[in-house]
Amino acid sequence: MSNYFIVNSKSLTPAYPVDNQWLEEDSISELLFQDGDKICINSEACLQAVYERVGEGPRKRAIDLFKNKFLFRSALAEQFPNFQFHQTTLSDLKPVDRKSVLKPVKGFFSAGVRILSPEDDISELKREISAEMKNYGQYFSESVLSTEEWMVEEYIDGEEIAVDLFYSGDGTPVILNIAQHPMPSDLHYLNAVYWTSRSLFQQWQKPLEQFFSKLNSEILSVTHFPLHAEFRVQGDRLIPIEINPLRFGGFGLADLAYYSFGFNPYDLFFQDSSPNWEEIWSRSQKEFYCWALAYNGKAIDVNRSVPNHESFIEFCGKENMAFYRQMNWKTQPVFAIAYLALADDRVIRELLSADFNRFFLQPRRPSFSSAGRRAGTRSRRRGLRKKRCSSLR
């Protein structure tokens, strides 16, 4: 049995040590994974390469189930018999008769996801989504983000919950983090905030453990299997939205556990260990722990403007900053990720209504007078050159 942490070099890797050898996705072409191997990937972009090297069995069937949202929804139809959904293509998308959700069958970073209403202009919506998917295609491959296969499912009203966990060596679900994903006022910044707290764990840890125990005993039958899952809260129930195999939360969301609770989620997986939640909560000093994406403002030309990191840090509060990670804003849709430890939810609420354009330094336009001075200087220089040439002749 071996441990494999497979990373995509273009995707975010942890900024802290992981006690295991990292293998670049491009370097595993000769590998064939065995049944007992522990495999974790850092990005959805690695999934296809790993999938091709996994033998037939429960693990491969689980990957097939989870990476296709339509197959996943079909597998849970007996458990959620009243939930409505169907598969389509973007070109065949029809108007809906009730509030619904459109999403790519394979997706990441909420790309292309839309809430549909009966009054929507479907033609305009298709054009808008096509442009968005073309833009996200710069960051994610077709194996990560499908542009042709889509599904429409009924809209679930309620808060969104994200969960990182793994199935242990005996198939027991081990919860690593539970985070709430509130909706921002501007959905262009959809993933701006995820937060976690002790009260959130007290409310949902046991129901989540029960759900994943049943899922494994009745459908999956896997061991040593990492997952990132998303749910909607409907009354006192959790309705699954999607489950992503062989990884934890993407784009640094998995690291929220490290900066909040002090344990390394990857090491726990490879060591087949569980967090000591009683000890963690006994030393926890803050009410909320938050992962915040510093988006590129939607009105920003990334080739002409630069992010003002100091301004965003001040907005979040330097005293709240557990870790701040700068990103390449020209190649990523964000310019930073902030991990915050908060005494209350004020900063969370302000992030949800933030205009991220304000965190960029705009290019300075020359004034008429300065442009005139520069033109005059160039004219004088040309005159000087002419005089020098005349004297040489």
> Within a domain: residue 391?
no
> Within a domain: residue 119?
yes
Please give the residue range of the domain that contains residue 148: 84-154
d(C-alpha 209, C-alpha 166), whole Å: 11
DSSP state letters, 101-167: EEEESS-STTTT-EEE-TT--HHHHHHHHHHHHHHHTTTS-TTTS-SSEEEEEE---S-EEEEEEEE
Average pLDDT, integer, range 133-150: 74
42-63 confidence digits (pLDDT tens): 998 899 899 999 999 999 999 9
**CATH code for the domain in which residue 119 is found:** 3.30.1490
Q: What is the pTM of this model?
A: 0.83
Counting residues of the chain whose pLDDT is more than 90, the rounded percentage is 72
> Within a domain: residue 323?
no
Three-state SS annotation for 111-130 = CCCEEECCCCCHHHHHHHHH
290-317 confidence digits (pLDDT tens): 999 999 999 999 999 999 999 999 999 9
As beta bridge partners, residue 337 has 293, 325
| Other Cβ atoms closer than 10 A to 207 | 13
> Within a domain: residue 194?
no
332-386 confidence digits (pLDDT tens): 999 999 999 999 999 999 999 999 999 999 776 655 554 444 545 454 444 444 4
> Within a domain: residue 210?
no
Q: What's residue 384's pLDDT?
A: 42
Band the pLDDT of 278: cuts 50, 70, 90: very high
**Total number of domains in the chain:** 1
Average pLDDT, integer, range 239-264: 95
pLDDT-wise least confident of 115-124, 182-191, 257-266, 361-370: 361-370
> Within a domain: residue 103?
yes
SS3 label, residue 20: coil
> Within a domain: residue 135?
yes
| Other Cβ atoms closer than 10 A to 367 | 9
How does strand 321-326 pair with strand 334-342?
Answer: antiparallel
Residue 186 phi, psi dihedral angles, 5° rounding:
-115, 110
Average pLDDT, integer, range 202-206: 97
> Within a domain: residue 184?
no
Average pLDDT, integer, range 145-172: 92
